[in-house]
Structure 1
């Protein structure tokens, strides 16, 4: 198995395996879950049994089934958020780097204003005003996260924009978007791919955190952060109900970080092969 032209390290293989398992659960949730996402089946916080492998939650729903459905919702929202934030952040960051002084100044000051407000407070205000529907949740987090992507994309593109091949493209009369698409983007791809993994990890945890606060994915939809909140009181009775979604969040985060560390190690290796004399 080879990715990016390199064989994954053992830790990267473990991370890829974890991600593959959770993605499979997310895609095939309706066929893998033994019960419905919101189906009440038994009593409150029943212990694990042959019918309910991980027990039941605060209103008698099967925890194992909700974990599977929660993978679909939590991962899908985090992935959609990260993709959207990268479109916004990368395009504006590259535009700021190669578009000239005034474009750079305008976009940078807008981002500085947004970054001056704590991320969680900004998100709580927007979600409290506009509600916590899935589209609003995705768009809110994507716009806020795009400011972080903008910073990296601008810094990377700044270094590329002063290289000789970009200057040659300008002298040839190539347009701004041609330079971004054909010169800047291919050379900025490796660090941006690594950053994508880090931002996905952050958004994944952020979505779970908002759901834990009651402003993320709303019932009856299952998500891991909301499952921890719903079953938090079970810890007082020595029950494992809130630990299963918390463990799923931790495992997914670890898996992503293992893969990102491997990608970063590839990008940090010196380029160029030694020639035989």
Structure 2
């Protein structure tokens, strides 16, 4: 355990994950100020080795790899965060509403979600993005919409259990409306599993975006996320050049870090599982 200001005692694994998560967020927020060079500026030869001028070397076009990594963090984190926020906003509200309203609304929503989930997410995304332009708003919408089906299933299952508890029945007897029950009774008592799912959904969004970019349907040049950088530099692996491995390692590090933090937050909020009336 490590004692941190404002957070108290934190497990070592969570502290490590929190440190790297903060580093990635810092790079994403302040990319324009901390990157040594503009992300698309060619400033050297192709695949130069690391030096005092280029700490991580250069990429396949001679751009500073460290600068590309920092700008790639901004693009990756922003798109994944926005898609996750959209997925949770849409999926949790519809899931709670289906559990509370029930009847035909629940049946229609659940069957529609079952239909969407029966199609592999990556294939669905590739089909949609092969028709629509691969702009950042489109990527956020497609990723958020597809991920919302998973959030819907979890939210509906959790809300269905909470909806039959005594404090919810008491709220119904008091004459509280559905909006009150959803946001004041169910939501506070469903935070624990949703927080855990939030971290997982963010990780899957990063991996999904990276896969789309690696296949050429994600972030388009001259911008690039980490998956696109792996795609741009993959041919260098044949010549023993590790430019493609650096963004791949960053993807793995971000996924592990966020997962460690999500597990720690879940343990801290586990007291909510017992449920209390709002």
Shorter chain as normaliser: what TM range?
A: over 0.9
Secondary structure of the structure 2 residue equivalent to 1:7: strand
Residue 122 (structure 1) shift: 0.5
Residue 189 (structure 1) shift: 1.0
Rounded to whole Å, the distance in 2 between the matches of 1:210 and 1:270 is 37
Q: Provide, for residues 194-235 of structure 1, a one-character-per-residue CA deviation record: whole Å limited to 9, x for no partner.
A: 110110011011111111111111110121000000000111
Q: Which stretch shows the higher mean deviation, 166-175 or 87-96? A: 166-175
Kindly indicate whether the alpha-carbon contact (under 8 Å) linking 1:93 and 1:154 is maintained by their aligned counterparts in 2: yes
Residue 2 (structure 1) shift: 6.9
Cross-structure match for 2:160: 158
Cross-structure match for 1:80: 82
Matching of residue 207 in structure 1 with residue 191 in structure 2: no
Q: In 2 relative to 1, CA 73–257 (structure 1 residues): closer, same or farther, beyond 3 Å?
A: same
Residue 263 (structure 1) shift: 2.7
Q: In 2 relative to 1, CA 263–166 (structure 1 residues): closer, same or farther, beyond 3 Å?
A: same
Residue 268 (structure 1) shift: 5.1
Q: Which runs of 4+ in 1 moved over 6 A?
A: 269-272
Kindly indicate whether the alpha-carbon contact (under 8 Å) linking 1:191 and 1:267 is maintained by their aligned counterparts in 2: no
Q: Provide, for residues 75-99 of structure 1, a one-character-per-residue CA deviation record: whole Å limited to 9, x for no partner.
A: 0000000000000000000001001
Residue 8 (structure 1) shift: 2.1
Matching of residue 221 in structure 1 with residue 223 in structure 2: yes
Rounded to whole Å, the distance in 1 between the matches of 2:194 and 2:75 is 25
Q: In 2 relative to 1, CA 6–104 (structure 1 residues): closer, same or farther, beyond 3 Å?
A: farther
Q: Which stretch shows the higher mean deviation, 188-197 or 89-98? A: 188-197
Residue 172 (structure 1) shift: 1.3
Kindly indicate whether the alpha-carbon contact (under 8 Å) linking 1:48 and 1:54 is maintained by their aligned counterparts in 2: yes
Residue 265 (structure 1) shift: 3.4
Q: TM-score under structure 2 normalisation?
A: 0.94
Q: TM-score under structure 1 normalisation?
A: 0.94
Residue 20 (structure 1) shift: 0.2
Residue 54 (structure 1) shift: 0.9
Kindly indicate whether the alpha-carbon contact (under 8 Å) linking 2:47 and 2:57 is maintained by their aligned counterparts in 1: yes
Kindly indicate whether the alpha-carbon contact (under 8 Å) linking 1:2 and 1:8 is maintained by their aligned counterparts in 2: no
- Counterparts of 1:42-57 in structure 2, within 5 Å, are 42-57=44-59
Kindly indicate whether the alpha-carbon contact (under 8 Å) linking 1:75 and 1:204 is maintained by their aligned counterparts in 2: yes
Q: How many residues align?
A: 271
Rounded to whole Å, the distance in 2 between the matches of 1:24 and 1:266 is 24
Cross-structure match for 2:142: 140
Rounded to whole Å, the distance in 2 between the matches of 1:166 and 1:270 is 15
Q: Which stretch shows the higher mean deviation, 37-46 or 258-267? A: 258-267
Please give the root-mean-square deviation of Cα atoms over the aligned residues, in Å. Answer: 1.6
Cross-structure match for 1:275: none
2:107 to 105, 109, 122: 105
1:198 to 197, 200, 204: 200
Q: Which stretches in structure 2 are left out of the alignment for 5+ residues?
A: none
Residue 11 (structure 1) shift: 0.7
